[in-house]
Amino acid sequence: MTDTVTAFAPATVGNVGVGFDILGHTVEAIGDRVRITRSAMPGVRILSITGTTETLPLEAEKNTAGRALLAMVESLNLSFGMDVEIHKGIPLGSGLGGSAASAVAAVVAGNALLDAPLTKLELLKFAMEGEAVASGSVHVDNIAPSLFGGLVLTVGIDHPRTKQIPVPEAVRCVLVHPHMFLSTREARRILSGTVSLSDVVWQCANLAGFISGCYTNDLAMLRDAFTDVVIEPQRQALIPGFAAVQKAAMDLGAIGCSISGAGPTIFAWCEQSSAQSICDAMVAAFKAHGLQSDHWISVIGNDGARVIA
Ligand code: HSE
């Protein structure tokens, strides 16, 4: 019987522009790691948090990984407890799905300690409870891709169904993370609760076009469908230089460019040949607005969270 397990869960781009709260994809370059040791003492204890941030709550109830594991322990009525060590690779408040990745890595590690491991779909619900601690609401666009891998669409909350959508092979994702913190709660709080009928129609068409473009390898359709007419216009003021960074990417031939999750990271889908120049231009545009940034160019692989030790 294994007593200690470590799992890795990748960062994610939530929304992917047109799929607010329901569509997201993995970024293999970075992620969080969670190590769990089985304990004779029931309950969930967070022993340490290291990495990009050490200021997250150690109380299990208030921590995304801790809350997800509590949901698992309570639901399964486990007789043993879990001692948890979290290593954050994803910057806090970056829009790269850090809270989701910790919750996902936790449930994947916890699952490996069970006598009868659960399916990923069953783990999804525990991880959703963890994510809700951080953002104040249940949404799956970071949790589902981090868990399953690739570009993932989720339909439903109480009985979620997930679908991995194929991504055209030519596509690369450029991510530029300006050095600033943006609270997901705040970026959700500012959103209007109502949307005009014409914007609903436009956004539905773009989401449908985006998904069909992925299935049919149609980059021209993806380009035309990439515009988020609902969320991006409301959030872009939270990110200094957003319009300039987006324009820099689009002028160099990006397929599309928008806010990653709740921001401030901005992502662009593009073809491999233009990825480096688009990345350089986005970094320069942020710099012109006084912001240094980290950046990554990533394939959108199909690997989700997994046990690594
Ligand atoms: N879909 C969420 C949002 C992702 O945009 O608020 C943030 O984690």
CATH 3.30.70.890 intervals, the chain: 171-298
- Residue with token string 């948890």: 84
Give me the pLDDT at residue 95, please: 94
pTM of the model: 0.95
Ligand 1 centroid – CA 13 distance (Å) = 9
Topology (CATH) of 171-298: Alpha-Beta Plaits (3.30.70)
β strands within 166-259, DSSP E: 171-178, 256-259
Strands of 256-259's sheet in order across: 256-259, 266-271, 171-178, 293-298
Instruction: Tell me which H or E stretch contains 30.
Output: strand 23-39
* Residue 21 CB less than 6 A away from ligand 1: yes
Which CATH number is 4-164's, of 3.30.230.10, 3.40.605.10, 3.40.470.10, 3.30.70.20? 3.30.230.10
Q: Which residues of the chain have pLDDT under 70?
A: 1
3-class secondary-structure state, position 240: coil
pLDDT at 197: 98
Query: Looking at residue 47, what is its pLDDT?
Result: 96
Residue 175 in contact with ligand 1 by CB distance below 6 A:
no
Cα 78 to ligand 1 centroid, rounded to whole Å: 32
Cβ of 140 closer than 6 Å to ligand 1, yes or no, is: no
Q: Which atom of ligand 1 is nearest to the CA of 134?
A: 8
CA 297 – CA 220 distance, rounded (Å): 21
Asked whether 135 lines ligand 1 (CB < 6 A), one says: yes
Q: How far apart are the first and last CA of the chain?
A: 14
Q: Report the C-alpha gap between 113 and 262 in whole angstroms.
A: 33
Compute φ and ψ for 210, nearest 5 degrees.
-65, -50
Cα–Cα distance measured from residue 92 to residue 98, given in angstroms and rounded to the nearest whole number: 6
Does any ligand 1 atom lie closer than 6 A to the CB of residue 85? no
pLDDT at site 301: 86
Q: Is the CB of 63 under 6 A from ligand 1?
A: no
Q: Nearest residue CA, atom 6 of ligand 1?
A: 262
Q: What is the pLDDT of residue 195?
A: 97
142 lines ligand 1 (CB under 6 A): yes
Predicted pLDDT at 255: 98
- Rounded (10°) CA dihedral 242, 97, 306, 22: -90
Residue 15 Cβ contacting ligand 1 at under 6 Å: yes
14 CA to centre of ligand 1 in angstroms? 6
**How far is the centre of ligand 1, averaged over its atoms, from the C-alpha of 22 (Å)?**
9
Q: Is 139 in the pocket of ligand 1 (CB under 6 A)?
A: yes
Query: How far apart, in Å, are the Cα atoms of 157 and each of 164, 196, 226, 231?
Result: 17, 24, 25, 20
Question: What H or E segment, with its residue span, contains residue 45?
Answer: strand 43-51
Q: Determine the 3-state secondary structure of 165 from DSSP.
A: strand
Distance 37 CA to ligand 1 centre (A): 31
- Spatial distance between the Cα atoms of 96 and 104, rounded to a whole number of angstroms: 14
Residues forming CATH 3.30.230.10 domain(s) in the chain = 4-164
Angle at 131 between CA 127 and CA 133, to 5 degrees: 125
The predicted structure's pLDDT at residue 157: 87
The predicted structure's pLDDT at residue 1: 61
Is residue 188 in contact with ligand 1, taking CB distance under 6 Å? Answer: yes
- Output the residue whose Cα is nearest ligand 1's atom 8: 261
Question: What is the pairing mode between strands 266-271 and 293-298?
Answer: unpaired
Q: Is the CB of 258 under 6 A from ligand 1?
A: no
CB-count burial class (<10 Å; 0-12, 13-18, 19+) for 161: exposed
